Each structure stands twice: as C-alpha cells, then as structure tokens.
Amino acid sequence: MWTLACRASVTVLCAGLLGACAAGLGQNPDATSSLGEPGPAAGQKQKTVRIAMLLPLGGLDQSAVIAKGMKQAGELALFELDNPFVQLVVKDDKGSPEGARAAAEEAIREGAEIIVGPLTSKAVTGAAPVARQAKVPILTFSNDSHVAGNGIYLMSFLAEQEVERIVAFAAAKGKRRFAALIPNDDYGRVVEPAFRAAVARSGGTVAALELYPLETNAMLEPARRIVDTIKQSDDTGGPVDTLLVAGGPTVLPRIGPLITYSGIDTTRVKLIGTGAWDFPNVGANAALVGGWYPGPDPRGWQDFSRRFAKAFGSAPPRLASLAYDAVGIAVTLSANPTGERFTAANLTRVAGFNGVDGMVRFLPTGLPERAIAVLEVQAFGANMVDPAPGAFDGATRVSAVPGQNAN
C-alpha cells in the first residue's frame, strides 16, 4: 500500500493560488504542478510524471460548467496529495470524438502516461484508439459500459450496480412485490433489465412496470397506470409494497406531485430510486421523503465540498468527486517506477482505491466495482441507513483529509 502525506497547509488553500498553479508550468500553459515544493536535489534526476485530463471545457453550456468544476477538482487533488514530480496537463476535448482524438494525441506527445476523462462516451471513442496504440490507459468519467475494456476504465457509478444494491436492500427489509416507473430513454434501457434481474435474484415479483416519456404531459398517463395498479393490488391479496422511480433532478420534481396527489400511502409502499436521486434538495419533494436510494457515503462528499468551496469560492458539481478521485488514483500510482506505474495489474489491484466517493476497484473488463451505501431522503439532505459493504480490505486511500495522512 502506498502512503501519501497531505500537507496541513491545505487548510489555507486559496482559489487564487490554484488559479496561478493552473496558469502554466514552463512553456506548457496547460500544465498544473503541485505547489510549494522544491525540485530534485542537486545531481538528482527525477522524471516528471504527466497526467492528462480531457474535458469539454469550451463553450458556455452546462457541460462546460461541469467540466470547469471537474478540472478544479483535479487541481485540488494534485495539491492535496502533494507529489512535486507530477504535472496535470489539461486539454479541451470539445466534447466530440474528433476533439478528443486531437487532445489525446497532443497529451501523449507531451509525455502523458495516463489520461483521466473524457466526460462523454462519444469523446472516449475518439481518444481510445490513440491511447491504446500508445499503451496509455484511460480513467474515463463516462458511465457507458460499452466503451470499457482494453485499457479503458470507468470511474463512474453504473446504473446496473445501483439497481442491484437498492433492490437487494429492499428485499432484505421484507419487500417482495415491486412496481417501477422508468424513463423511456437510454438510461431507462439500462435500468429496466437490471431492475427485472435484481428483483428475480431477490426472490421478488415485478407486478407492474411503465416506461414514461420525458415530456411532462406525456408522463402523466404511465404514472396514472402505475398508481391504478398499486391501488388495485390491495384487493388482490398481493399488494405492491415497493415502487422504483428512476429519474434525476429534471424529472423527479414533476413525478413527485403525481405521487403525492395519487393517494398512495408511501409509509406502506416504499419508494426507492437510483443514484440519480443523489442531488441537492431532493427532499424538497415531499413524496420522496423517506425513500431509499443507493449512493456513496455522504460524509466523503460533504468534506470534499467544504475543501473545494474553500479553494474556489463555490460549490462543486456532483461529478467533481470523480475527477478528484481519478487524479488521486493516478498520483498514487505515479510513485511506482517508470514503466510499472499504470499497468493493468496496478489499476486492477484487488484491494482497489478509497476516495471521496468511497471504495472502487476496476475489473479486467474495465468496469468499476463500487462499495455503495443506501441513503434515506430527508426534508434536508439524506441519512445513511445502510453503510457501504466493508469490502476491498486494504484499499489505497486517494483522498486527502487536511492535517491527516492518507493511507
């Protein structure tokens, strides 16, 4: 296990300091270096390890805003983990296959030994052939399992694993008859088969399932059918006791009132969700309060958010923790000798890594295996009702806590 000490001085980290750090190193305006550390001693030769980060930084849309926060999170990880011989080289992949290909080629020419990013699966398809040819692994933030493998590793949370976790937990609490409202989109097409399989493995029954369009008016009819089925089940001797509502911050505020006004007793019919429920103010929707959903232990995110806000003066986007942990993994492995740093064996170590979002390890397929907790929605925030499994004994810590050692 590699032990990385973080400096207590991170508690006085300021946004201006990190901004200056990101402004440039030598002749490369994209390079970020850890701060305040001396270079190699006289006569000592230490090769700089370059980590590339590919993100859609251009433009004014929401993805660019998220990308900026992820870039800042990567810089924060570099600063806190404090290896003076590591540089973070950030490239704009333009969110396209062509842009990602060009960004990957440029980063590898500049000596990048590992790539973190891109954010989208289409950008991964552009960067992957270049990285594979150069034998440079990629830790991507995409949650599309189709792009994983052959040197491409997913940092994300997979919907299949989240659904398995929440259904298994509900079944352990005695839930047996399930209904589901699932979006009729690419996300839903992953969630639906995962839900059916998870219910079957738990010994339960799928009593009803409806796919809803994303348009507000169009989702009313499938929601009404689910409600009717749940109400009628009370008279059949096999009442539905669990309702999965798959959706995130754009659709839950519209579905929640439908459940509230339907007359369903949510103290008897337990609402469950996916990791898409993990967003601020989810509890503002009264129908969802008391519902269960899978996610990382919120304490890691809360601590990271405080440090991020102190550094940059604003709250991080939720995906920023993935960037922090990806850079943390890369910095951790950079302590290995040249040629042995980012091998498949090191990246797929059985113990995995322990970061802001808890424990993760990469399978040889490139898919992540995460230790996931179960959270209960409160009017303000969420309570952890079942901690993440204590697997991955000996996981290497890649997140820094000010004033403590990372181990």
Amino acid at 114: I
Q: Most confidently modeled of 13-17, 45-49, 181-185, 221-225?
A: 181-185
Task: Flag whether 178 is in a domain.
Answer: yes
Strand 112-116 to 138-140 pairing: parallel
pLDDT digits (tens, 9 = 90+) for 254-307: 888 888 888 888 889 999 999 999 988 898 888 899 999 999 999 999 999 999
In DSSP terms, 375 is beta-bridged to: 293, 384
Q: 321: number of CA atoms within 13 Å, CB side?
A: 23
As given in the structure block, the two tokens for residue 364 are 């040889």
Distances, alpha carbon 193 to alpha carbons 244, 295, 367, in Å: 13, 20, 18
The confidence score (pLDDT) of residue 238 equals: 85
Output b/e per residue, 277-300; b: 16+ Cβ within 10 A.
Answer: bbeeebbebebbbebbbbbbbbeb
pLDDT band, residue 399 (cuts 50/70/90): low
Could you tell me what percent of the chain has a pLDDT over 70?
85
Task: Flag whether 346 is in a domain.
Answer: yes
pLDDT digits (tens, 9 = 90+) for 200-217: 999 999 999 999 998 878
Last residue of some domain: 295, 319, 351?
Answer: 295
First to last CA, the chain: 7
> In terms of Cα–Cα distance, which of 124, 181, 186, 190 is closest to 161?
190
Q: Are 276 and 315 found together in one domain?
A: no
CATH number at residue 222: 3.40.50.2300
Q: Are 132 and 263 found together in one domain?
A: no
| Rounded Cα distance, 149 and 347, in Å | 12
Q: Of 16-25, 88-97, 200-209, 264-273, which range is least confident? A: 16-25
Distances, alpha carbon 174 to alpha carbons 151, 196, 204, in Å: 41, 17, 10
Task: Flag whether 398 is in a domain.
Answer: no
Please say whether the beta carbons of 88 and 31 come within 8 A: yes
> In terms of Cα–Cα distance, which of 44, 54, 40 is closest to 84?
40
Looking at residues 83-88, what average pLDDT do you find?
Answer: 93
Residue 340 dihedral angles phi and psi, to the nearest 5°: -120, 10
The confidence score (pLDDT) of residue 73 equals: 98
Task: Flag whether 402 is in a domain.
Answer: no
The confidence score (pLDDT) of residue 61 equals: 85
Please say whether the beta carbons of 371 and 298 come within 8 A: no
107 vs 12, more confident: 107
Looking at residues 21-32, what average pLDDT do you find?
Answer: 35
169 vs 27, more confident: 169
Number of domains in the chain: 2
Q: Are 315 and 272 found together in one domain?
A: no
pLDDT digits (tens, 9 = 90+) for 131-166: 999 999 999 999 999 999 999 999 999 999 999 999
Residue 180's region, left for phi above 0, alpha for psi from -120 to 50, else beta, is beta
Task: Flag whether 197 is in a domain.
Answer: yes
228 vs 400, more confident: 228
In DSSP terms, 391 is beta-bridged to: none
| Residue 5 scores a pLDDT above 50 | no
* Mean pLDDT across the chain: 85
Looking at residues 85-89, what average pLDDT do you find?
Answer: 95
Non-local CB neighbours of 42 within 8 Å, separated by 6+ positions: none
Q: Are 209 and 230 found together in one domain?
A: yes
Task: Flag whether 48 is in a domain.
Answer: yes
The confidence score (pLDDT) of residue 391 equals: 56
Q: Are 202 and 239 found together in one domain?
A: yes
The confidence score (pLDDT) of residue 117 equals: 96
Task: Flag whether 396 is in a domain.
Answer: no
The confidence score (pLDDT) of residue 38 equals: 34
DSSP E strand stretches across 309-372: 353-355, 358-362, 368-370
- SS3 at position 123: helix
Q: Are 151 and 166 found together in one domain?
A: no
Looking at residues 314-331, what average pLDDT do you find?
Answer: 96
| Rounded Cα distance, 203 and 137, in Å | 40
Please say whether the beta carbons of 54 and 100 come within 8 A: yes
pLDDT band, residue 234 (cuts 50/70/90): confident
Distances, alpha carbon 175 to alpha carbons 127, 170, 237, 269, in Å: 44, 5, 15, 9
Q: Are 196 and 281 found together in one domain?
A: yes
The confidence score (pLDDT) of residue 24 equals: 28
- SS3 at position 307: helix
Other CB atoms within 10 Å distance of the CB of residue 355: 29
Q: Are 95 and 144 found together in one domain?
A: yes
Could you tell me what percent of the chain has a pLDDT over 90?
67
| Rounded Cα distance, 35 and 79, in Å | 6
41 vs 372, more confident: 372
Q: Are 268 and 343 found together in one domain?
A: no
Task: Flag whether 62 is in a domain.
Answer: yes
The confidence score (pLDDT) of residue 406 equals: 37
Residue 60 dihedral angles phi and psi, to the nearest 5°: -120, 10
Q: 143: number of CA atoms within 13 Å, CB side?
A: 17
Outline where 134-218 has alpha helix (H). Answer: 159-172, 186-202
The confidence score (pLDDT) of residue 92 equals: 97
Domain assignment of residue 217, given as a range: 159-295
The confidence score (pLDDT) of residue 215 equals: 86
As given in the structure block, the two tokens for residue 21 are 């750090």
Q: Are 317 and 217 found together in one domain?
A: no
pLDDT digits (tens, 9 = 90+) for 324-377: 999 999 999 999 988 889 999 999 999 999 999 999 999 999 999 999 999 999
Outline where 208-314 has alpha helix (H). Answer: 220-233, 252-262, 298-312
The confidence score (pLDDT) of residue 21 equals: 35
